[in-house]
Amino acid sequence: MDVKEYLCRYHVTEEKILKLQQIVAEYLRLANTIPGVNLDQIRVDGTRKLDAPFEKWILKALDDELLIEELKKQLPLIKCEIISLIDELEDKEYKMILIHRYIDWLSWTEISQKLYYSSSKIRRMHDKALEEISILSKGKVEQG
85-109 pLDDT, tens digit each: 999 999 999 999 999 999 999 999 9
Question: What percent of the chain is modeled with pLDDT above 90?
Answer: 66
Question: Position 126: which residue type?
Answer: H
Non-local CB neighbours of 10 within 8 Å, separated by 6+ positions: 75, 78, 79, 82, 102, 103
Domain assignment present for residue 11? The answer is: yes
Provide mean pLDDT across the span 25-30: 92
User: Per the confidence metrics, is the pTM higher than 0.85?
Assistant: no
Contact indicator for 1, 141 with CB cutoff of 8 Å? yes
pLDDT recorded at residue 55: 86
pLDDT recorded at residue 46: 64
* C-alpha to C-alpha distance for 129 and 79, rounded to whole angstroms: 18
Domain assignment present for residue 90? The answer is: yes
DSSP state, residue 135: H
Domain assignment present for residue 97? The answer is: yes
Domain assignment present for residue 26? The answer is: yes
Domain assignment present for residue 121? The answer is: yes
Domain count, the chain: 1
Structural domain boundaries enclosing 127? 3-35+53-143
Domain assignment present for residue 46? The answer is: no
Q: Which of 129, 81, 74 is nearest to 103 (CA)?
A: 81
Could you give the 3-state DSSP secondary structure of residue 2? coil
